Amino acid sequence: MSSEYTGKRQHVAIVGGGAAGMACAATLAKHPDRFKITLIEKEAVVGGQATSINLDAEQHGASWMNNGVQGGSAIFKHTFNFFRQYGHPPQEVRLQVSFGKGKDRFWTNCFPSPLVKEFGSDIKRFGTFLKVIQWSLPILGIVPISILLRVFLFSKDFGDKMVYPLIALFLGTGNQTASVPSGIVERLFNDPNMKLWDYDPETLLPNLPTMYTFDKLNDFYSAWREDLTNKGVSFALETEVQETLSRSKNNVVLKLENIHSKESREESFDKIVFCSLADETLRILGKTATWRERFVLGGASFYDDITVTHTDSTYFDEHYETRFKSDLCAEPTTEAQRKQIAFSNPSDSNSDAGFRPMYYTYTYNSNPKLIEMSFNCTNYQHQFRQNDASNENTPKSVYQTIFLNKERRDLWTIDKIDESQIIKKNWWHQLGHRWIHYLRVVPNMMFIQGRNSTCFAGSWTLVNMHEVACVSGVAAAYRMGADYDQFDNFATDFFSKYLLVSHGLVFSRQEKKRSKSNHSSQ
């Protein structure tokens, strides 16, 4: 279907005020003569999972921390572009990770460990493995990573102790890591538009890759909403879409309900963009959902995870390797490795160097394919680091531990966290990147986009990243006739690829059509 503007000012409903919904609204709002926009969000604030928590600055060394979304890599061009527009630029950080507990499970990207030495041949062969998948896409790409690791005769421990924790770091998979398709793993290492860092043939994960931590998300999203309001976007907050009453080629009728008063109303729109999760979208569509929509959206699997924000350092030290220890370090064989060890174990206690992991995984002995994930937010988020020097007292480190898939609650160590040190608990409904998602959902999105005056956006349409959410919202707006501002060649390339995969539209052809249309109307 075409993405050309029809000439009539259209009233567009956007369901969901997360990154996708806000990016869609921002793109449409550039054309007030073409679009009237109403964004419907059931929460009192926008931002979706990208939220912030207030902290006691004297206790923790900062007055706030981000929650749900921590940061991203250099590929997050659209995300950072929005951030900078509102004076919230991302802050550079060198990523340190700590996988596993104990000498037989631990490895890091900061210095050589015995485990990395043990799996040296597997790590080198993994590079060839990625190339084979790349050459054979999409045939082998859809096969779960756990199956191909066995086919290629990788050791079971290499998968359990290195590959699966690393994929979890990439995606946050709701403990469906072994079911992630091999093609997604390959893309996350090799695709310039998706990779977070390069494959390293010596250590698998490169030493201290550059990442970016986000500024205060509550303030950013609040400023974004205020600006869009000034541009004419209407925000219906604390409002839930109860059901879709009807849809046609030129009209959508929704039943809306105020969360507090429970008062309901019907409202008519010309177009609708669902920036809600796939299962929630299917619920809203109800009887109006077509068989295609039920097939595609029904292929997305979601899992309920809980994030516990706490200050229990005893729990953290018990479950993770948090400090440099000589017995965790392998004998260096190169000058680079000697420098890594020196960096990780500095003699100067006031140095900015040192082993200060930001991301951790804990593997269950009874089921090594399943993990728990944690962040040391004090090491990761920039506001803590900026306030270190000005704080006379040693602040309590703030941690976030994520327990995946409540159906496996029997494995969780959540009860070992000191309840008195818990700051907040958040439940999340997270996408599981299972192989079926890339067979049933991703390649078929283009066949449901634009039909019955409806578009779909959200990170679940491809990969669970804030950047994908932003791009998906922009793409939905573009399909409806909004312009895409080319601010960066890399960003344009990413946008073009997403538009092709999710909407079946070739960006260059669409631009030529629009150019001809604009020329003929002059």
* Domain assignments of the chain as residue spans, ordered by start: 10-49+219-300+435-520
What confidence score (pLDDT) does residue 202 get? 87
Non-local CB neighbours of 407 within 8 Å, separated by 6+ positions: 303
What confidence score (pLDDT) does residue 353 get? 74
Q: Assign 199 to helix, strand or coil.
A: coil
In which band, very low, low, confident or very high, does the pLDDT at 239 lie, cut at 50, 70 and 90?
Answer: very high
In which band, very low, low, confident or very high, does the pLDDT at 2 lie, cut at 50, 70 and 90?
Answer: very low
Integer Rg of the chain from CA: 24
What confidence score (pLDDT) does residue 54 get? 95
**Per-residue tokens: 353:** 């160097």
Please give the DSSP secondary-structure letter assigned to residue 194: T
In which band, very low, low, confident or very high, does the pLDDT at 6 lie, cut at 50, 70 and 90?
Answer: low
- 154 pLDDT more than 50: yes
Instruction: Look at phi and psi of residue 518 and say left if phi exceeds 0, alpha if psi is from -120 to 50, else beta.
Output: alpha
Residue linked to tokens 């791009």: 471
In which band, very low, low, confident or very high, does the pLDDT at 352 lie, cut at 50, 70 and 90?
Answer: low
What confidence score (pLDDT) does residue 171 get? 80
- 519 pLDDT more than 50: yes
Q: Mean pLDDT, to the nearest integer, of 453-475?
A: 96
In which band, very low, low, confident or very high, does the pLDDT at 138 lie, cut at 50, 70 and 90?
Answer: confident
- Between CA 40 and CA 26 the distance in angstroms is 14
What confidence score (pLDDT) does residue 282 get? 98
* From 77-86, 181-190, 409-418, the region with the lowest mean pLDDT: 181-190
What confidence score (pLDDT) does residue 31 get? 97
- 233 pLDDT more than 90: yes
User: Greater confidence, 12 or 49?
Assistant: 12
- 321 pLDDT more than 90: yes
Helix (H) or strand (E) holding 213: strand 210-213
- 1 pLDDT more than 50: no
Q: Is 415 exposed, middle or buried (0-12, 13-18, 19+ CB in 10 A)?
A: exposed
In which band, very low, low, confident or very high, does the pLDDT at 477 lie, cut at 50, 70 and 90?
Answer: very high
- 281 pLDDT more than 90: yes
- 168 pLDDT more than 90: no
- CA dihedral 487→493→498→499, nearest 10 degrees, is 70
- 521 pLDDT more than 90: no
Non-local CB neighbours of 393 within 8 Å, separated by 6+ positions: 58
Q: Mean pLDDT, to the nearest integer, of 444-455?
A: 97
Q: Mean pLDDT, to the nearest integer, of 467-495?
A: 96
What confidence score (pLDDT) does residue 395 get? 86
Q: What is the mean pLDDT of the chain?
A: 91
Helices (H), 358-506: 377-380, 382-387, 466-479, 489-503
Q: What is the C-alpha end-to-end distance of the chain, expressed in Å?
A: 25
DSSP string, 49-96: T-EEEE--HHHHSSSEEEES--EE-TT-HHHHHHHHHTT---EEEE--
Q: Parallel, antiparallel, or unpaired for β 51-54 and 422-432? A: unpaired
What confidence score (pLDDT) does residue 350 get? 47
Residues of the chain with pLDDT > 70, as a percent, come to 94
Q: Mean pLDDT, to the nearest integer, of 145-149?
A: 94
**Per-residue tokens: 314:** 């005893």
What confidence score (pLDDT) does residue 274 get? 98
Q: What is the pTM of this model?
A: 0.92
Please give the DSSP secondary-structure letter assigned to residue 360: E
**Per-residue tokens: 445:** 């999105």
**Per-residue tokens: 517:** 């249309």
Nearest CA among 422, 420, 428, 434 for reference residue 403: 428
443 cis-preceded (ω within 30 degrees of 0): no
- 244 pLDDT more than 60: yes
- Between CA 119 and CA 156 the distance in angstroms is 11
10-49+219-300+435-520: which CATH architecture? 3-Layer(bba) Sandwich (3.50)
* From 102-111, 182-191, 243-252, the region with the lowest mean pLDDT: 182-191
- 99 pLDDT more than 80: yes
pLDDT digits (tens, 9 = 90+) for 358-417: 999 999 989 988 899 999 999 999 998 766 555 556 789 999 999 999 999 999 999 999
